[in-house]
């Protein structure tokens, strides 16, 4: 199968195109042509996923496709941008049609959920990796930034942190026993062989959900925001640096994913430093706190106040042993 047949069959599939009126020209020309809605700013972000570094090459191709798109979309959610289009640059060591069909189905399942259209890309031969560039739009001036947190603001996180880190450990455990990793259907199956906690953890790791549901809840109420991709301490650290402030955390209030087979210490360490959760961390001024909590309650999303922004720099209130998240150039994975 040639490059163009491959593109046509697996990436130009209607499931990945969506019917968006703002896509004037999609796959097939030298460029895609997009009509940007009036009064909006384009939000653009790209993330690369390399086999063995960002994802387990043994993972189901359906999960690899889903995840590659999800981690990029999460950056749009983190700035309050509505997702719209994406491009995919993929390197494949070989043409494995069964793998490609599952990969593109996983990407399509997530893209359909948010109506994001695949409008172009590039296909090359090489070590398995993919870069997904996403574009979304946000009302002029309304995007949440990392800078903007002020002393006295309350720090919040969504979801239970450390869930994906637990999922990665469970996945590695399965692989070490020579067992396959489950795809979404297997994780959702009524007769699944996995416990409830294993399922939740594996789902969080293999099928992350970008938190677009938080955009309307947080809307203009937040003073800064970020998505948690490298662990709470690392990503909150980016907000603090950008805003020129520090934080005092209430360790007991940080929502941890507790797994029956893990010690409380390792759950807590996962919540502070585990990556891949793609939850949001954000700050809110005390004046808007009540409004935010009412809005969260109405939308049935759970948010957790975990501390306060301080004028004094650095993060206080967490065990000294807690380590910061992963850094590609500092750490060896
Ligand atoms: P060019 O050589 O002009 O860059 P290509 O031959 O690389 O174009 O690609 C042909 C068309 O297919 C282009 O519209 C491109 O955007 C699209 N395309 C290539 N690879 C992918 C992919 N993996 N996913 C989606 N579209 C792709
Ligand atoms: Mg090209």
- Could you give all domains of the chain from N- to C-terminal order, each with its CATH number? 3-139 (3.30.1330.10), 144-333 (3.90.650.10)
- Chain CA centroid to CA 58, Å: 20
Select from 34, 92, 100, 120 the residue to mutate for testing ligand 1; criterion: most ligand atoms less than 8 Å from CB. Answer: 120
For 316, other C-beta atoms within 10 Å of its C-beta total 12
Q: Which atom of ligand 1 is nearest to the CA of 122?
A: 20
Burial of 314 (0-12, 13-18, 19+ CB in 10 A): exposed
Beta bridge partners of 136: 43, 83
Between CA 84 and CA 191 the distance in angstroms is: 36
pTM of the full structure: 0.94
pLDDT given for residue 266 in this prediction: 87
Answer yes or no: is pLDDT of 260 > 90: no
Q: pLDDT above 90 covers what percent of the chain? A: 88
Q: At what angle do helices 97-114 and 61-78 cross, to 10 degrees?
A: 30
Answer yes or no: is pLDDT of 60 > 50: yes
Q: Is the CB of 122 under 6 A from ligand 1?
A: yes
Running DSSP on this structure, what letter comes out for residue 146?
S
Q: Residue whose CA is closest, atom 11 of ligand 1?
A: 28
How far does the centroid of ligand 1 lie from the alpha carbon of residue 55, in Å?
Answer: 24
What pLDDT digit, counting tens, does each position of 84-123 carry? 999 999 999 999 999 999 999 999 999 999 999 999 999 9
Which token pair is 113?
């959920």
What pLDDT digit, counting tens, does each position of 24-48 carry? 999 999 999 999 989 999 999 999 9
Q: Is the CB of 92 under 6 A from ligand 1?
A: no
Answer yes or no: is pLDDT of 332 > 50: no
Q: Which residue has the tokens 């959702």?
A: 188
Which token pair is 249?
């955390």
Beta bridge partners of 18: none
Q: Which residue has the tokens 């570094």?
A: 53
pLDDT given for residue 19 in this prediction: 84
Between CA 250 and CA 247 the distance in angstroms is: 10
Between CA 230 and CA 235 the distance in angstroms is: 6
Q: Are 243 and 309 in contact (CB under 8 A)?
A: yes
Q: Which residue has the tokens 């069909």?
A: 101
329: confidence class by pLDDT, cuts 50, 70, 90: low
Q: Could you list which residues have their CB under 5 Å from ion ligand 2?
A: 122
Q: Which atom of ligand 1 is nearest to the CA of 30?
A: 3
Answer yes or no: is pLDDT of 225 > 50: yes
The residue length of the chain stands at 333
pLDDT given for residue 264 in this prediction: 87
Answer yes or no: is pLDDT of 333 > 60: no
Answer yes or no: is pLDDT of 243 > 70: yes
Counts for the chain of helices (H) and strands (E), in that order: 11, 12
Q: Is the CB of 123 under 6 A from ligand 1?
A: yes
How far does the centroid of ligand 1 lie from the alpha carbon of residue 73, in Å?
Answer: 21
Q: Is the CB of 319 under 6 A from ligand 1?
A: no
What pLDDT digit, counting tens, does each position of 186-206 carry? 999 989 999 999 999 999 999
How far does the centroid of ligand 1 lie from the alpha carbon of residue 29, in Å?
Answer: 8
Answer yes or no: is pLDDT of 18 > 70: yes
């Amino acid at each position: 199968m040639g490059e163009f047949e491959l593109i046509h069959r697996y990436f130009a599939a209607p499931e990945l195109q969506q019917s968006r009126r703002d896509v004037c020209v999609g796959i097939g020309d030298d460029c895609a042509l997009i009509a940007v809605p009036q009064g909006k700013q384009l939000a653009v972000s790209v993330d690369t996923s390399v086999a063995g570094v960002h994802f387990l090459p043994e993972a189901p191709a359906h999960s690899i496709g889903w995840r590659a798109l999800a981690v990029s979309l999460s950056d749009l959610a983190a700035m309050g941008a509505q997702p719209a289009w994406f491009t995919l640059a993929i390197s494949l060591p070989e043409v494995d049609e069964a793998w490609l069909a599952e990969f593109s189905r996983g990407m399509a399942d997530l893209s359909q959920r948010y109506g994001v259209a695949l409008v172009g890309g590039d296909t090359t031969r090489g070590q398995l990796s993919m870069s997904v560039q996403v574009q979304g739009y946000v009302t002029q001036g309304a995007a949440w930034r990392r800078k903007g947190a002020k002393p006295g603001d309350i720090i919040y996180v969504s979801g239970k942190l450390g869930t994906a880190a637990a999922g990665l450990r469970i996945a590695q455990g399965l692989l070490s026993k020579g067992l396959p990793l489950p795809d979404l259907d297997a994780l959702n199956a009524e007769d699944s062989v996995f416990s409830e906690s294993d399922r939740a953890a594996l789902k969080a790791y293999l099928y992350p959900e970008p938190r677009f549901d938080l955009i309307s809840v947080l809307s203009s109420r937040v003073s800064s925001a970020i998505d948690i991709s490298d662990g709470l301490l690392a990503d909150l650290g980016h907000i603090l640096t950008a805003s020129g402030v520090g934080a005092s955390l209430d360790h007991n209030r940080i929502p941890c994913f507790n797994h029956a087979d893990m010690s409380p210490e390792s759950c807590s360490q996962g919540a502070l430093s585990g990556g891949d959760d793609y939850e949001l961390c954000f700050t809110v001024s005390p004046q808007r706190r009540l409004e935010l909590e009412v809005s969260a309650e109405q939308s049935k999303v759970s948010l957790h106040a975990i501390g306060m922004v301080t004028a004094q720099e650095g993060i206080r209130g967490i065990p000294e042993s807690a380590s910061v998240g992963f850094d590609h150039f500092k750490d060896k994975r």
